[in-house]
Amino acid sequence: MIDLTIWELHTGDSPLVATAIHDGHAVRPEVAALLALPEPERLREEDPFTRRWTSVADTRLIGLRSRFEIDLNRPRDKAIYLEPKDAWGLHVWREKPPEAIIARSLQQYDAFYDTAKQLFTALEQKFGRFVVFDLHSYNHRREGPAGPLANPQENPEVNIGTGSLNRDQWGHIVDRFMADLRDFNYLGRHLDVRENVKFQGGNFSRWAHANFPQSACVLAIEFKKFFMDEWTGEPFPTHLEAIQQALASTVPGVLKALQLSK
C-alpha cells in the first residue's frame, strides 16, 4: 500500500491559517527510483524551514512531500515537472514516469485540494471570513555559492503576492500586514517588504480566491533565502527565529483588520 497522505493538518480556533505547502522533501520510493535530480538540488528548490513559521497560526496546513513529486502550488496539469522547462531547466527524471505513477501523484494532489476545500468551508461557516499566510521562500544565489547575489531591487527580502486577490475587498488587510512586517525591529533594522515584485502568488492562492471569493484573503508570502545557505541547506538560526517573531507580530493587526472587513 502506497501512502498517499502528503500533508499534515492542525486545526485551531481562529480565522487565521498558515500553510507551508512546499516545505516537504520526502518522495515515495517509486518516484525516488526514477529521479535523476540529486537530493541537494531538490532541496535547493524546495522551501525548507517554512513549516516552522506556520506556528504563528493555530490552524496549519503543511506539505510533507517534495514539489518534485507533486507541486501543490501549480495547476493540476502542470503539477508534475515532466520537462526541464517546467523545473528551472533541471533534468528531473531518468525516464518519464509511467502513467500509473503520474496518476497516483495526481491522486495526492486532488486529495490535498479536497482537504483544503473542507478546511476553508469550515472556516467560512464558522467565521465568515479568514486569512491565509501562504508561506514560501525563494533563491537569490542562482549563479552559484560564490556567485553574486540577485539584484535586491528586483528581489525583496519579503515578496507579498496578491495577484489573484481582490484589493478592493482585502487591500486593508494586505496594507496592515505589510506595514506591521516592515515596522518590526528585525535584528536592529527593518525588512524590505514589497508587493508583487518577484511573484504574484501561485495556484493555491488563485484557487482559494476563485472558490472562496467572499471569504478567503490569501497572502502569498515569499521570503528570500537570506535566512539560510541555499547551496548547502544550512539554516541561520538567528534569522529563522527573527522571521518567526516578525510574522507573529503581524497577527494582531491582521485579525483586527479582518474584523473590519465588509
The one-letter amino acid code at 125 reads: Q
Residue 208 within any structural domain of the chain: yes
Residue of 56, 63, 95, 78 lying closest to 243 (CA atoms): 56
Environment class of 9 (CB within 10 Å of its CB; exposed 0-12, middle 13-18, buried 19+): middle
Q: What is the CATH number of the domain that holds 156?
A: 3.40.630.40
Residue of 89, 106, 101 lying closest to 6 (CA atoms): 106
Task: For residues 48 and 191, give the distance between their C-alpha atoms in angstroms, rounded to a whole number.
Answer: 20
Q: How many domains would you assign to the chain?
A: 1
pLDDT tens, 215-240?
999 999 999 999 999 999 999 999 99
Residue 83 within any structural domain of the chain: yes
Q: What is the CA radius of gyration of the chain?
A: 18
What residues make up the domain containing 82? Answer: 7-259
Quote the pLDDT of residue 261.
Answer: 76
Task: For residues 233 and 48, give the distance between their C-alpha atoms in angstroms, rounded to a whole number.
Answer: 8
Quote the pLDDT of residue 1.
Answer: 45
Q: Distance between the two ends of the chain, CA-based, in angstroms? A: 48
Residue 1 within any structural domain of the chain: no
Residue 217 within any structural domain of the chain: yes
Residue 230 within any structural domain of the chain: yes
- pTM, two decimals, is 0.96
Region 139-165: mean pLDDT is: 93
Residue 147 within any structural domain of the chain: yes
pLDDT at 262 > cutoff 80? no
Residue 78 within any structural domain of the chain: yes
Quote the pLDDT of residue 165.
Answer: 97
Task: For residues 18 and 55, give the distance between their C-alpha atoms in angstroms, rounded to a whole number.
Answer: 8
Q: Which three cell numbers stand for residue 206?
A: 488563485
Q: Which residues lie closer than 8 Å to 231 by C-beta, 6 or more apart? A: 44, 141, 144, 145
Region 49-73: mean pLDDT is: 98
Quote the pLDDT of residue 143.
Answer: 84
Region 11-29: mean pLDDT is: 97
Region 49-74: mean pLDDT is: 98
Confidence of residue 67 (pLDDT cuts 50, 70, 90): very high
Residue 2 within any structural domain of the chain: no
Q: Which three cell numbers stand for residue 107?
A: 491522486
